[in-house]
Amino acid sequence: MNKTLLLILCDFLLLTILSMWKMEEDAPPPTEAEVAESQEASVSGMAMMEQDLLDTLAYSLEEEQAQRSELSEDLEAKAAELAKREEELAQRQDRIQSLEQNLSEAEQRQQQLAEERQNLEQEAQALQNQVEEARSEAQSVTQRLSEAEQQALQSQAQSRLLQEELDRKLEEIEAKESALQAKDQQLANTQQQVQELGVQVRMREQENEFLQDSVTDLKGAVVAEREERERLQEQSTFLAQGVSELAASSQDLTQELRSNFEINANQLFADFKNNQVNANFTAIKLLRNRYVQEEDTTTTVVVSDGTDYYALVHIDNMPFGLRSNPSYVRSVSLTLSRSGADKRVGALGFMDLDPRIAMIKLTAEEASSLGGKPYLTALEPFKFPEAVLVDHDGKYYGEVEFKLDSETPGFVKMQTKIFSSIFGEFSPSTGDLVLSKTGELLGIMVNRRYCVLVNNFVALETLDLRRQLNTGELKGTLRVLNSALDDFPSPLR
């Protein structure tokens, strides 16, 4: 409500009070004509004031609508400019990657040529050694020929053989010298190619440095544009739906740069809706001497540490809890479903990080059959001071600040506040999924204040769902879980 409207309302209330105020207590009672005239004047004044109030309200409404339209146009212009800047950044990064790949190939080619040059040098040296040996042999043959000539009269046959051997050796020497010349020429060509590649490598490096500087400047501009867009989002709360569509249209680029930029909460929730998995529990209990079937459904996602795949559920969203009477529960079945694909679960594991978190292990084939994108565990959980909470029914979400608590390592303390459900927000509660601004899974709310950081999947206890649970297995499992929880600090219980 603006100041003008507030002043008009105050004037209206003041005039109403004054019209009803009895100014003089000792004045004689008015006549009927005076009373009627006073009432008519009062009604006329009230009607005029009501009309003025309605006109003012209509003017205020038109002014608010004009401001809202102006903010919407400004936001669309900023969004278009940001998309253009981000597209330029993507093109430059693609060019850098291409140049880096060409540079790597040139370096590999240079290394191969260097190795070939070394091999050619070794072969040339070997040929040189062979030539020297051949020359030495030729000298020996020549000497032997001289001796043979001296003995020619004694052995003409021996002289002819020696001459033939000399000719053969000379031919071998000529062939090896020709091969040596060819190797020398090949070595010279290789050295020239190495020099040319060296020049190309230096040119690629200079161009790469120039593009890196350009990308750094462009990243700074993109960050400034993102800050401006967030400011406009805060001023135009009623345009949240439009911002959600804008975030969905730039999903691919946001995913590529998520390590450096925080992801919009609307986009994170949209990704969650695309990848959520329903966990359907069916329990058979014995209550008042009759069997009762209970069904519970909660939402979760597939989580991976890069090697294994799991689905996580808080025990409060299951048919039994830590304080349940295990003798009442006869059997529990669990099915994971998504987009028509179902996975029957045979066992539940309970995390060593917090015994209230149940995990369902999946093979890579099972995770693939369910479809969707597995969420990775957060490598840098404290990179951004805020996280996005999604309630266990997958209906509401909201941004919440969190802080580290030295008394509760492995957990973060979430700010407790009540959000407006009109815009898909809510108050943090047990079992809510917590997503980091990088699009990874930060953890799960173990109560209304604390979130466990999921960074490993070590099981404290395992419950076989294929067996009857009233034989003592559920009782033993709950005893182990309660014992582990009793060792936790009191704020975490």
How would you write the chain as a 3-class SS string?
CCHHHHHHHHHHHHHHHHHHCCCCCCCCCCCHHHHHHHHHHHHHHHHHHHHHHHHHHHHHHHHHHHHHHHHHHHHHHHHHHHHHHHHHHHHHHHHHHHHHHHHHHHHHHHHHHHHHHHHHHHHHHHHHHHHHHHHHHHHHHHHHHHHHHHCCCCCHHHHHHHHHHHHHHHHHHHHHHHHHHHHHHHHHHHHHHHHHHHHHHHHHHHHHHHHHHHHHHHHHHHHHHHHHHHHHHHHCHHHHHHHHHHHHHCHHHHHHCCCCCCCCHHHHHHHHHHHCEEEEEEEEEEECCEEEEEEEEEEECEEECCCCEEEEEEHHHCCCCCCCCHHHEEEEEEEEEECCEEEEECEEEEECCCCCEEEEEECHHHHHHHCCCCEEECCCCCCCCEEEEECCCCCCEEEEEEEECCCCCCEEEECCCCCCHHHCCCCCCCCCEEEECCCCEEEEECCCCEEEECCCCCEEEEEECCCCHHHCHHHHHHHHHHHHHHCCCHHHC
Question: Could you tell me the residue ranges of all domains in the chain?
Answer: 82-233, 265-492
Dihedral, CA of residue 463, residue 467, residue 468 and residue 469, to nearest 10: 0
Average pLDDT over every residue of 305-317: 94
Confidence band (pLDDT; 50, 70, 90) for 26? Answer: very low
Nearest 10 degrees: Cα torsion 263, 265, 267, 273: 130
Contacts of 1 (CB under 8 A, 6+ apart): none
Q: Which residue has the higher pLDDT, 8 or 29?
A: 8
The most confident of the ranges 76-80, 230-234, 278-282 is 278-282
Lowest mean pLDDT of 165-174, 357-366, 432-441, 474-483, name the range.
165-174
Mean pLDDT of the chain: 80
- The CA distance from 480 to 322, in Å, is 10
Closest CA to 465 of 261, 320, 339: 320
Q: What is the per-residue pLDDT across 48-101, written as a single tens digit (0 to 9) for each?
A: 767 777 777 777 778 878 888 888 888 888 888 888 888 888 888 888 888 888
| Residue scoring higher pLDDT (256 or 114) | 114
Segment 311-321 mean pLDDT: 94
Q: What is the pLDDT of residue 152?
A: 61
Q: Read off the pLDDT band of 33 (50, 70, 90).
A: low
**What is the pLDDT, as a whole number, of residue 372?**
82
**Position 256, amino acid:** E
Architecture of domain 82-233: Orthogonal Bundle (1.10)
User: Are residues 472 and 329 in contact, defined by beta-carbon separation less than 8 angstroms?
Assistant: no
pLDDT, mean of residues 174-195: 73
Q: Point out the least confidently predicted range of 21-25, 287-291, 394-398, 442-446.
A: 21-25
Q: Quick one: tokens of 399?
A: 């941004």
Q: pTM to 2 decimals?
A: 0.49
Structure confidence at residue 238 (pLDDT): 46
pLDDT (0 to 100) of residue 99:
84
Are 304 and 317 in contact, with CB atoms under 8 Å apart?
no
Is residue 224's pLDDT more than 70? no
Q: Is the pLDDT of residue 253 over 90?
A: no
| Range with top average pLDDT, 77-81, 117-121, 203-207, 440-444 | 440-444
Considering the domain 265-492, what is its CATH architecture?
Answer: Beta Barrel (2.40)
Residue-wise pLDDT tens digits, 449-493? 999 999 999 999 999 998 888 778 899 999 999 999 999 999 998
Percent share of the chain, pLDDT over 90: 31
Query: What number is the average pLDDT over the span 247-271?
Result: 67
